[in-house]
Structure 1
Amino acid sequence: MRGFIKQIVLSTIIIAGTLLVSCEKEVNIKLNTGEPSLVVEGVIENGLPPYVFLTRSIGYFSTIDLNTLQNSFVRNAKVTVSDGVRTVQLREYSLDTGANGNKLYFYSIDTAGSFFVGQIEKVYKLTIEVDGKIYESFTKIPNPTTIDSMKTVQPDPPFNKEKNPLARQVRIYFKEPDTAGNFVRYFTQRNSEPYYPGSNSVYPDDIINGIYFETTLSLGEPTGREFNRDSSTVGYPGDTVTLKWCSIDRANYTFWSTYEYSLGTLGNPFSTPIQVKSNISNGALGVWTGYGAVYKTIVLE
C-alpha cells in the first residue's frame, strides 16, 4: 500500500488545474460567486486499488494558496465502488505534504478489511454521498493496446537540435486494434520521478484502425512547471524512461481532451471557449477514470 500511496499523491496535480479550469463557463461569465461544485478525481487501474480525491471548486477570483487547497478537500463522504458483484466502501486517508502542516485527503480501500483491484474489461460504478446529495459515475477498464517496441530519437521540429543536441524523446511502435472506439492516454516516468502525463496525453483512433503505427512521444512534465522549448519534455542519454500506456473509454477521452485544451488556453483571451465534459452525475465536475495500462521501459541512448 505504501508504494501505491506514493504513486497517487502526484495525481493531485490535476486538482489545482481542475479547480481553475472548472470555473470557466462556455460563453457567459458571471462575476458573482455561486455555490462551489463538487470536484471528483477518481481512478481505477488494472491490478491496482481505486482511489478518489474529492474537493470543492474555487471561485475564479479567489486567492489560491496551500491553505485554500487544504480547505477545498471534501471529508467524511461515503464513497463506494462496485463491479456489479462486489461493492466496497472506501476509507478516508490523509497524507502530510510537509508544507506547514497541510495535508492531502483521499479515499481508497481499507487495507485491513478488503482486497479490491481493477480488472480488464470490467465496468466500475462510483457512488459518492455527501451533504445530502448522491453523485454517480461509470467507467470501464478497456483491454490495453500492446506496445511492440520503443526506441530513442531526437525531438522533431520545431525543437532546436543545435541548442540542445543531447535531447532525446521516445518513438513507439504498435498495432492499433481494428475496431473503432479505442482511446489512449499516456504517462512517462524519467528515472525516479513520478509518472506525468504528456502535454497532449490523449489520442483517438479515428484514422489508424487496424494498422501498424508509430509516433514520437514528448515526455511528461509536472503541471505548473515553466515551459522551455529547448529543454522541456525531453530526456538525455542514460535516463531510464518508463511509458505508462493506458486504454480509456470514450467518456474519459472526452474529459481529458477538453481538460487539456482548457488548461492549455487558460488566460488566452483569443482562445475558443470550451466546457470540460465531466462524466459525474448531479452537476459534479471532474472524472472517474478506468485505465487499462501496460508499462514499457527504455534506457535513452
Structure 2
Amino acid sequence: MKYISTVVLLFVLIGCEKKVEFDLKETMPLLTVDASIESGQGPTVVLTKSLNYFSKVSAEVLANTIIKDAEVYLSTGNNTHQLRRYDVVLPGTTIPFSYYSSDTANASTIIRGEEGKSYQLRIVWQGKEYKSTTTIPAARKYIDSLWWVKAPNTPDTSTKVVVRARVIDPQPFGDYARYFTSVNNGTFLPGFNSVFDDAFVNGTTYTVDVDKGVDRNADLDFEEYGFFRKGDKVTVKFSSIDKATFDFWRTVEYSYQSIGNPFSTPTKIIGNIGNGALGYFGGYSSRYTTVNIPR
C-alpha cells in the first residue's frame, strides 16, 4: 500500500507541473574588443561582434563576427595615430582573420609601447564611439632564475618535468603580472591561471611552479596539464600589467574554469572599454627567461 501511494503521489505531482517556456529575444550584437600594446611594440586590436548565448559556433560564424569597418585610433595625449586594418588567413587554416595595427604608410605618427606611459584607444563603429585607457607599468616584479625538476606524483617521471621560477617582488604593494610559455620556439600561450597579484608575496622572494601554457581553443588534458618534457626549450614571458588588465583576465579565467560546473557562481567579466562594449585594452611590459631541459 505504501508503494502504491508513492506512485499515485508522483503522478499527482507530475500532473501539477506547469510548463515554463522562455522567450529569449534576439539582442543587438555588442562591440567586443581584444586590444593590447607591449613595450617596444605597436598595438594589436581585434574587433568582433558578440554572439547570442545559444548561437552555434563554427569557423564560418566566427569569421562573420570580425569587424572590418571601424575607425581605430591610438593616442599618447600628444600624438595620435590611426590604425590600419590587416586581413590575413590564420596559419594552418583557410579561416580569414582581421586585426588593426600601426599604419606603416604613416610612419611619422606610429606609436610604440614604453614603460611608464599611458595610452588611449578610441574606436568609432556604427556611429558610436568607444574609449579606453591603459598603462604599461615599469617591470618591477621579475623572474630571477628558472630551472626544472622531475615531475612528482606521476608514473611518467622519465620524461615529464616541472619548471620552477624564483620570483622577486619588491615593495610596495600593487604589482600585477601575467605569464605565458613557449615550447621549442612555438607560440606563447597563457597559463590556465595566468595572472596574479602580490597580495601575499609583496616584498618577498619566492619559488613557484610555472605550469605550461594552454590553448583555450582545445580540450584540456589534465593528465598532461602543467608538465614539460625532457628535451624541451622553455621560454617564459613574464609581463607586468596594470590592475584593469589583471581584473579582466582574472574574471575571464574564473569564468572559463567554471564552465560546466552547475554549482559555480556566475561571473561578471570586468572589462575597461567604455560605452557598453565588451573586452579590454591592456598594456604589457615583458621580460623573457629561457631554460633548456636536457633529454
Q: TM-score range by the shorter chain?
A: 0.7 to 0.9
Quick one: distance in 1 between partners of 2:190 and 2:211? 10
1:129 aligns with 2:105: no
Partner of 1:202: 195
Q: CA deviation at 1:153?
A: 2.1
Quick one: distance in 2 between partners of 1:217 and 1:233? 8
Give the letter aligned to residue 291 of structure 1: Y
Partner of 2:113: 118
1:291 aligns with 2:284: yes
Partner of 2:268: 275
Quick one: distance in 2 between partners of 1:32 and 1:261? 27
Quick one: distance in 1 between partners of 2:117 and 2:176? 16
Could you tell me whether the CA contact under 8 Å between 1:154 and 1:161 is conserved in 2? no
Quick one: distance in 2 between partners of 1:205 and 1:273? 25
Aligned mate of 2:97, from 94, 104, 128: 104
What count of residue pairs does the alignment treat as equivalent? 270
1:266 aligns with 2:262: no
Q: What SS class does the counterpart of residue 160 from structure 2 fall into?
A: coil
Q: What SS class does the counterpart of residue 229 from structure 2 fall into?
A: coil
Aligned mate of 2:66, from 68, 73, 76: 73
1:52 aligns with 2:45: yes
Quick one: distance in 1 between partners of 2:237 and 2:114? 17
Aligned mate of 1:227, from 211, 220, 223: 220
Q: What SS class does the counterpart of residue 105 from structure 2 fall into?
A: coil
Partner of 1:25: none
Q: CA deviation at 1:116?
A: 2.3
Distance change >3 Å, CA 151–CA 53, structure 1 → 2:
same
Quick one: distance in 2 between partners of 1:31 and 1:163? 49
Quick one: distance in 2 between partners of 1:101 and 1:237? 34
- The worse-fitting range, judged by mean Cα deviation, of 182-191 and 206-215 is 206-215
Cα shift readout 1:221-278 (whole Å, capped 9, x = no counterpart): 2113222232233211121111000011111111100000101112322111110001
Quick one: distance in 2 between partners of 1:92 and 1:297? 34
Give the letter aligned to residue 149 of structure 1: S
Written as runs of structure 1 = structure 2, the 5 A alignment for 1:70-219 is 70-97=63-90, 101-114=94-107, 115-144=110-139, 145-155=141-151, 160-219=153-212
Quick one: distance in 2 between partners of 1:163 and 1:178? 40
Give the letter aligned to residue 62 of structure 1: S
Q: CA deviation at 1:166?
A: 1.9
Cα shift readout 1:165-206 (whole Å, capped 9, x = no counterpart): 421221111210201111110000001320000000000100
Could you tell me whether the CA contact under 8 Å between 1:45 and 1:119 is conserved in 2? yes
Q: What SS class does the counterpart of residue 174 from structure 2 fall into?
A: coil
Quick one: distance in 1 between partners of 2:235 and 2:93? 33
Quick one: distance in 2 between partners of 1:113 and 1:46? 20
Q: What SS class does the counterpart of residue 168 from structure 1 fall into?
A: strand
Could you tell me whether the CA contact under 8 Å between 1:164 and 1:231 is conserved in 2? no
Q: CA deviation at 1:300?
A: 1.7
Identity %: 37
Give the letter aligned to residue 276 of structure 2: G
Distance change >3 Å, CA 187–CA 99, structure 1 → 2:
closer
Quick one: distance in 2 between partners of 1:192 and 1:30? 50
Aligned Cα RMSD in Å?
1.7
Where in structure 1 do 4 or more consecutive aligned residues deviate above 6 Å? none
Could you tell me whether the CA contact under 8 Å between 2:150 and 2:157 is conserved in 1? no
Query: If the length of structure 2 is used for normalisation, what is the TM-score?
Result: 0.87
Cα shift readout 1:44-71 (whole Å, capped 9, x = no counterpart): 0001110100000111111110110111
Where in structure 2 are there 5+ consecutive unaligned residues? 1-21
Query: If the length of structure 1 is used for normalisation, what is the TM-score?
Result: 0.85
Q: What SS class does the counterpart of residue 36 from structure 1 fall into?
A: coil
Partner of 2:57: 64
Distance change >3 Å, CA 286–CA 30, structure 1 → 2:
farther
1:40 aligns with 2:33: yes
Q: CA deviation at 1:98?
A: 6.3
Quick one: distance in 1 between partners of 2:96 and 2:132? 26
Give the letter aligned to residue 220 of structure 2: F
Distance change >3 Å, CA 102–CA 226, structure 1 → 2:
closer
Partner of 2:7: none
Cα shift readout 1:85-140 (whole Å, capped 9, x = no counterpart): 21111000010136774310100001232232100010010100010000011100
- The worse-fitting range, judged by mean Cα deviation, of 161-170 and 289-298 is 161-170
